[in-house]
Amino acid sequence: MWKEKVKEYETDIINDLKGLLSIESVRDDNEISSDNPVGPGPRKALDYMYEIAERDGFDTHDVEHIAGRIEAGEGEDVMGILCHVDVVPAGDGWDTNPFDPVVTEDKIIARGTLDDKGPTIAAYYAVKILNDMKVNWKKRIHIIIGTDEESDWKCTERYFKTEEMPTLGFAPDAEFPAIHGEKGISTFDVVQNEKAEDKDEPEYELISFTSGQRYNMVPDEAIGKLAVKENMTDVIQKFEQFLSEHNLNGESIVDSGVLVLKAYGKAVHGMDPSIGVNAGLYLLHFLAQLGLDKTAENFTQFSEQYLFNSHFGEKMGMKFHTDVMGDVTTNIGIISYDNQNGGQFGINLRYPQGFEFEEAMTRFKGEIQELGFSIALGKNQTPHYVDKNDPFVQTLVKTYRNQTGDQTEPYTIGGGTYARNLDKGVAFGAMFNDSEDLMHQKNEYITKKQLFNATSIYLEALYALCVEE
């Protein structure tokens, strides 16, 4: 029944999704204003959602252009559907324009199709279809739309300061059958505090180094600029040998007497850095083998001692595992250095329940202080957990099983979704076990089958939770 219902709306679903995907809704700190709290792109995507909602007869409520909601239903309790319309930067290497959606016979290709514009449109249409059916609502529904999920969550932070907290809800921003627990997520910078004096003139001086744009992405490109006293060819040969040994791509260019080294890796979501290739850490690994100036040497040695080839916090002394939530993971998402100010590492640490975060950070802070480094702590979100046997979770899982026949149990993840804003919040789709996960990667796509099946599951779930009761 539900799949037949969705069939009637397939063309509209694709058209509305295409409109949303064509907005480059990447946070832009250079364009921030009161009208555009995280830049014009995310604001435009938020307004787009209001426009389609108003076209379809729904009320909307804006919260300072950084978040808002689409309202449906009626009743005492509020069911929240927590979505986001911001996306991570597209990065390089796409086969198509990431913000000009390509619709093929079986898929839609663009940045944000999986994370989280496709699932947002699927959830929106589930609500719209029920509304068009003129069902007898027993709950109010708030589709809450955020614009800063991929960075600092300023959107939900601001939203929940003044707006009603849903009694229960889901984020369509992960996998089916349901995600009932999420690791704690912390971001922090390790900052080099002091410049070191060189006794002799070094053979090589590191002028600058950059890699990565986001804490929660494995960087796929790194650029180091070196002043070389002599033997430029020697360094280039060593670099080529290094790339070959480590099965990496890269290039070297001499520009006005400066040697520019570039290394390329593989970008993946920062929740599991072990499946990516961190271009920044690899390039530092190469530079650590040269006779660099003392400040740069201290910087590269720090990477070697604590970060390189250590995805589970082993080198930082933070290895920790639980059977329910898995391992601590560490992603070094942003690396920068210049010869005037030294460098810093931007780290995204994810940890299961039971990990003593404060204790671990205090110890690490003390240890690296002696090496001339300090920690600037950013946001820390504690782990989130809802019992998988809770009736709410079981209702969601049941609707998934009804439509797929798949008996997979709900599980926990290292990613973070808006579900953690709610006491009783879980992530629910829109990835299936046969979906190719290209979140935060090039050539991201969603299949039409996945998009329509997710809509159908959301439809049945919302009917069970907000109409039948």
Q: What are the tens digits of pLDDT across the range 353-373?
A: 999 999 999 999 999 999 999
DSSP readout, 403-423? HH---PPPEEESS--GGGGST
| Per-residue exposure over 117-132, b if at least 16 CB sit within 10 Å of its own CB, e if not | bbbbbbbbbbbbbbbe
Mean per-residue pLDDT, 323-347: 96
> 16, 86, 115, 293: which one is catalytic?
86
Q: Amino acid identity of 204?
A: Y
**Smallest Cα–Cα separation from 113: which of 9, 8, 22, 214?**
22
> 16, 149, 150, 182: which one is catalytic?
149
3-state secondary structure of 104: coil
Q: Amino acid identity of 414?
A: G
93-137 pLDDT per residue, tens: 999 999 999 999 999 999 999 999 999 999 999 999 999 999 999
pLDDT, position 469: 59
- Give the number of residues written for the chain: 469
Is 149 annotated as catalytic?
Answer: yes
pLDDT, position 24: 98
Q: What is the largest CA-CA distance in the chain?
A: 81
Virtual CA dihedral for 116, 421, 150, 338, nearest 10 degrees?
A: -170
**pTM: predicted TM-score of the whole model, two decimal places:** 0.82
Residue 215 backbone phi and psi in degrees, to 5 = -60, -35
| Residue 209 zone, left/alpha/beta (φ > 0; ψ -120 to 50; rest) | beta
304-329 pLDDT per residue, tens: 999 999 999 999 999 999 998 999 99
Mean per-residue pLDDT, 425-444: 94
d(CA 420, CA 123): 18
pLDDT, position 362: 97
Mean per-residue pLDDT, 441-457: 97
Percentage of the residues of the chain whose pLDDT score is greater than 70:
100
Residue 39 has pLDDT above 90, yes or no: yes
pLDDT, position 375: 97
**Smallest Cα–Cα separation from 28: which of 84, 87, 79, 73?**
87
183-239 pLDDT per residue, tens: 999 999 999 998 888 777 888 999 999 999 999 999 999 999 999 988 899 999 999
Which residue reads 């001692």 in tokens? Answer: 305
Percentage of the residues of the chain whose pLDDT score is greater than 90:
92
pLDDT, position 203: 87
User: Tokens representing 99?
Assistant: 């913000």
pLDDT, position 195: 84
pLDDT, position 397: 98
Task: Give 106 or 414, the one with higher predicted confidence.
Answer: 106
At a CB cut-off of 8 Å and minimum separation 6, what does 209 contact?
222, 223, 224, 225, 280, 283, 284, 287, 299, 335, 336, 337, 338, 343
pLDDT, position 198: 74
**Smallest Cα–Cα separation from 79: which of 143, 146, 174?**
143
Task: Give 437 or 461, the one with higher predicted confidence.
Answer: 461
